Structure 1
Amino acid sequence: MKTAGIRYVSGRLAMAAALLGGLSLAVYVGVDLLPGDPASARLGPGVTPEQAAQARERLGLEEPLGQRYLDWAGGLLRGDLGTSANGTPVSDLLTDRLGNTAVIAGLTVLLLVPASLALGVALGRRAGTRLDGAGSAALLLTVAVPEFVVASVLALTVAGQLGWLPAASLVPAGEHPLAHPEVLILPVLSLFLVSLAYASRVIRAQTATALRAPHVEFMRLNGLPERAILRQAVLPAILPSAVQIWLISAAGLIGGTVLVEMVYSYPGIGKLLVTSVDSGDLPVVQALAMIMGALTLLATVAADLIADSTGRTRSA
């Protein structure tokens, strides 16, 4: 049984590695097709055609696309993300910004897990009531609103009209975002509200289904209190699905942070990605797209592993 489980996990990991390889090819080719010339971006707007041609040759941009991809992919395996158009190693540009993005994404997940579990279970226990209808409608409405719209509304109301918090989440150079918690509240809240709505709806549905199970009814007939039923029967049934949702939500935050960071001028990967696309700094765009895609893929594979292992355990 253990050998079969190891083989299963190994197979899924091998599939994830193959998908990462395919993702790297799609990212490199897709970004390479974007408008912009890394050589011209590196030399500035006053570059002559001769200087651009020399720079392209020096950077290896005249090489066939396949060879350039293999060189780039080989660098990724060695931990080399390439060199930006300004001559700075891409890894140096990303270090602080990835950390800043990880702060707001991590805080969002820390709030999301207990809040979505509590709200989802509370609504699921009251399925079919007016409270459940009103709560589910509010969650559905929130899910339909993109993160940047929520961020814009919060910036206009909480920061602009009420003046409770800064509208721009600026972090002084060289300082950690946690040293300025006031600039984190609105970005985290924007991501949290949308993620909470999606996760709570799924957990609510799982809770309502679990409470209708025959063994739960048997426990009620035997006089067990509702808290004991929740602890012994409902939570074990919904937690695997809840963990899946939390992982998928965390993966979705990777894309959501880009838009929210732009709204609040937060110094994360979002602003760097947009400015790199505008300036044609393709090595930075390729590195960011690969990192974001890989994190999303790995989170999705982890969620699938949890779902499949839970199903295998139940069937056994």
Structure 2
Amino acid sequence: MLFAVALVVFVLFESLDSDAATVILSRTGSGDPNPEQLRALRTELGLDRPAPVRFVEWLLAFAQGDFGNSLISGRPVGDVLLGRAANSVTLALITAGLLIPAALALGLLAGARAGSRTDRVISVGALAAESVPSFVFGVLLVATVSLSLRLLPAVSLLPTGASVWSRPEILVLPVTCLLIGLAPHPVRMVRAQTAEVMASPYIQTIRLNGIGGMRLMLRHVAPNAVSASIHPLAGAVVGLIGGVAVVETLFSYPGLSQEVLRAVEARDFPFVQSAAVLLAAVGIGIYLVADLLTLLVSPRARQIAMGERI
């Protein structure tokens, strides 16, 4: 899967109408670069070699942990990624830490009372939030909370080298925007699974035996509903990869996405290629963890897996 991602990104990058040499010479302000200058700079940057050769060289180096050097700044790609990724990871972890318990709690509450006023309020609210792009909520949050009420900063700027924890208030609006954009789908999935479990003969029999309340929810309903909702939750966490990119751009948050956008604009192949594959690896890793958790909490899933293996 990672090889397929790397190949697709490389092919798309090669289809662009210019390369790093053209961008560098254009930024010097000397007008359109002449063919001799382009040829010399492409040779210096290694862009004169055939595309398959450059891809294989990058792939072999990447497999050994060498992400190469930026074609624009000359800095090691790994150093730039590490510095920027820390801020993005902080934003994603805080959001995921709030997203998962909130989605589970709201979904279980709505599903346990399917058809009630509580269920209708949660379901309608989730559907309405899911129908609006997250950046719209971001703009509204900036307009109301920042510009009108002046409670929080409108942009999440940081001094160079500073940690996001030196100004934790800059995380509030980005995290809120991500939660509004990503929580509705897993809430609806957990709600649907919980309602299905509550209506099952197994649960009906338990309730006839006098078991109810929190004991019923925590011991019998929640494990079955949550095990079937692990992959929707994993999908929401993976959605943070794309959601963080939008939010970082909207709030000028100093994360990885801004650096990737600059690298695409500058045609910085080693940086874009390495960042794309690493982000894909994170997404694949999250789904792998979801598969393992499903096997851990679901005896039926384990039986199916063992049966297929046999």
Aligned with 2:85 (options 98, 106, 112): 98
Residue 184 of structure 1 aligns to a residue in which SS? helix
Distance 2:294 2:16 in 1: 37
**Does residue 159 of structure 2 align to residue 172 of structure 1?**
yes
In structure 2, the residue matched to 1:184 is 171
In structure 1, the residue matched to 2:65 is 79
In structure 1, the residue matched to 2:14 is 32
Distance 1:216 1:63 in 2: 66
Aligned with 1:313 (options 302, 305, 308): 302
In structure 1, the residue matched to 2:182 is 195
In structure 2, the residue matched to 1:88 is 75
In structure 1, the residue matched to 2:40 is 54
Task: Tell me the CA shift for residue 251 of structure 1.
Answer: 0.9
Asked if 2 retains the 8 angstrom alpha-carbon contact of 1:98 and 1:268, the reply is yes
Task: Tell me the CA shift for residue 277 of structure 1.
Answer: 2.0
Task: Tell me the CA shift for residue 302 of structure 1.
Answer: 3.5
Asked if 2 retains the 8 angstrom alpha-carbon contact of 1:42 and 1:87, the reply is no
Q: Alpha carbons of 1:88 and 1:40: their partners in 2 closer, same or farther (altered >3 Å)?
A: farther
In structure 2, the residue matched to 1:273 is 260
Task: Tell me the CA shift for residue 305 of structure 1.
Answer: 4.7
Q: Which amino acid aligns with 2:108?
A: V
Post-superposition CA distance 1:6-65 (Å, at most 9, x none): xxxxxxxxxxxxx11111111222122223311233454335432221121122212111
In structure 2, the residue matched to 1:226 is 213
Distance 1:28 1:220 in 2: 58
Distance 2:284 2:17 in 1: 26
Query: When the two structures are aligned, how many residues end up with a matched partner?
Result: 298
Distance 2:24 2:79 in 1: 17
**Does residue 281 of structure 2 align to residue 294 of structure 1?**
yes
In structure 2, the residue matched to 1:256 is 243
User: How do residues 108-147 of structure 1 correspond to structure 2 at under 5 angstroms?
Assistant: 108-147=95-134
Residue 30 of structure 1 aligns to a residue in which SS? helix
Moved more, 139-148 or 270-279: 270-279
Distance 1:172 1:242 in 2: 40
Post-superposition CA distance 1:171-214 (Å, at most 9, x none): 12122112211001001111011222111111111110111111
Residue 21 of structure 1 aligns to a residue in which SS? helix
Q: Which amino acid aligns with 2:21?
A: A
In structure 1, the residue matched to 2:269 is 282
Residue 153 of structure 2 aligns to a residue in which SS? coil
Asked if 1 retains the 8 angstrom alpha-carbon contact of 2:177 and 2:247, the reply is yes
Task: Tell me the CA shift for residue 244 of structure 1.
Answer: 2.2
Q: Which amino acid aligns with 1:160?
A: L
Residue 238 of structure 2 aligns to a residue in which SS? helix
Distance 1:178 1:248 in 2: 28
Asked if 1 retains the 8 angstrom alpha-carbon contact of 2:110 and 2:119, the reply is yes
**Does residue 189 of structure 2 align to residue 206 of structure 1?**
no
Distance 1:83 1:251 in 2: 28
Distance 1:36 1:82 in 2: 20
Distance 2:180 2:64 in 1: 38
**Does residue 51 of structure 2 align to residue 65 of structure 1?**
yes
Residue 170 of structure 1 aligns to a residue in which SS? coil
Residue 168 of structure 1 aligns to a residue in which SS? coil
Q: Which runs of 5+ in 1 are unaligned?
A: 1-18
Residue 284 of structure 2 aligns to a residue in which SS? helix
Distance 1:297 1:251 in 2: 9
In structure 1, the residue matched to 2:150 is 163
Asked if 1 retains the 8 angstrom alpha-carbon contact of 2:110 and 2:191, the reply is yes
In structure 2, the residue matched to 1:13 is none
What TM-score, normalized to structure 2? 0.90
Post-superposition CA distance 1:255-275 (Å, at most 9, x none): 111111011000001211222
Percent of residue pairs bearing the same amino acid type: 35
Distance 2:108 2:87 in 1: 32
Task: Tell me the CA shift for residue 131 of structure 1.
Answer: 2.7
Distance 2:133 2:17 in 1: 27
Asked if 2 retains the 8 angstrom alpha-carbon contact of 1:41 and 1:279, the reply is yes
Distance 1:129 1:104 in 2: 35
